[in-house]
Amino acid sequence: MLCGMWWVLVLGTGYVACLSQPQHTALMKFYDATGGQYRTHPPWNGSEACLWHGVVCDTSNTHVLRLSLVHCNLSGVLPDLSALQQLTHMVMSQNHLEGPVPEWLQQIKGLASLDLSENILNGTIPPWLGSMQSLQMLNLGLRHQLKSDGWLDRFYRGYSRTPFNTNNLVGTIPTELGMMGQLQVLNLGMNRLIGAIPSAICTALALRELNVKLNLLTGQLPRCLSALPRLEVLDVFRNSFAGPLPATLSSTLWFLNLGENQFDGPVPLGYSKLHNLQACACVRACVRLCPCACFLIPSY
């Protein structure tokens, strides 16, 4: 029943507070606007929003903390969910969501993970994303593959699979993304981005994964990439990067893909010291004058 501004659920003699009306209304508008057809999952209905598929609330059931709706047949433009002020994780990959990256996202100050990969988004990467200081994971590219037990096999399976959908973001990579002090994963793969990787990205010192594969990027790789102390994954496969490779790269790298670009010159001797490399995909020659095999010897 509706009591003042709160949805409440009475179970026997107990009282359980539920979501505020603005949150409940935002979820229902989202459900209606994106098709309301979650494949084999039960439909969203009733006042118990914290029990709906993909919705995770806090222990008191008063705030939505996570929305995880992967491969749920969502379509259309994302409606405003800024009423979910306590939201920390929003994962809606492998759907049919369209339109630009929505501006209302910047109103959710505590958002830590944003995954809109493998949809059909368009427009540019908005510079205001750089102001989202809580973001640790930003994925506007391909579905992320996690490193865990058996991660290597799963990584390669995910690496070679056909994407469910592909976003169509254009323009350059905003320098403002370097302002994201907590960002650990930046995945912009398989869009239509142009220009160079801005050197400002090297100021995101928490970065562990940088994935820009399958774009239209040009120029040289920033030399400052070696200054990223935690970088584990660097994937620039199939762009139009040129010139010499950076003299060194982060010693923490365990996956490196430089394949199908236009690099010149020898592989720097410093790459032989990348002792943490456990996987490397260099399809064709990553440089013209020296084969990748001279330094990419898997350690597994």
Question: 275 phi and psi, to 5 degrees?
Answer: -75, -15
Per-residue confidence in pLDDT tens, the chain, 300 aa: 233 333 343 333 344 457 899 999 999 999 999 987 665 577 888 778 999 999 999 999 999 999 999 999 999 999 999 999 999 999 999 999 999 999 999 999 999 999 999 999 999 999 999 999 999 999 999 986 544 444 444 444 444 467 889 999 999 999 999 999 999 999 999 999 999 999 999 999 999 999 999 999 999 999 999 999 999 999 999 999 999 999 999 999 988 888 889 988 888 888 888 888 876 655 443 444 333 443 443 333
**Residue in the structure block whose two tokens are 């990748």:** 292
CA dist., res. 93 & res. 115, Å (int): 6
CA dist., res. 80 & res. 64, Å (int): 14
14-20 and 6-11 as β-strands: parallel, antiparallel, unpaired? antiparallel
pTM of the model: 0.86
Question: 20 phi and psi, to 5 degrees?
Answer: -65, 155
What is the model's pLDDT at position 259? 85
DSSP assignment letter at 249: -
Neighbours of 60 (CB within 10 A): 10
What is the model's pLDDT at position 212? 97
What is the model's pLDDT at position 85? 97
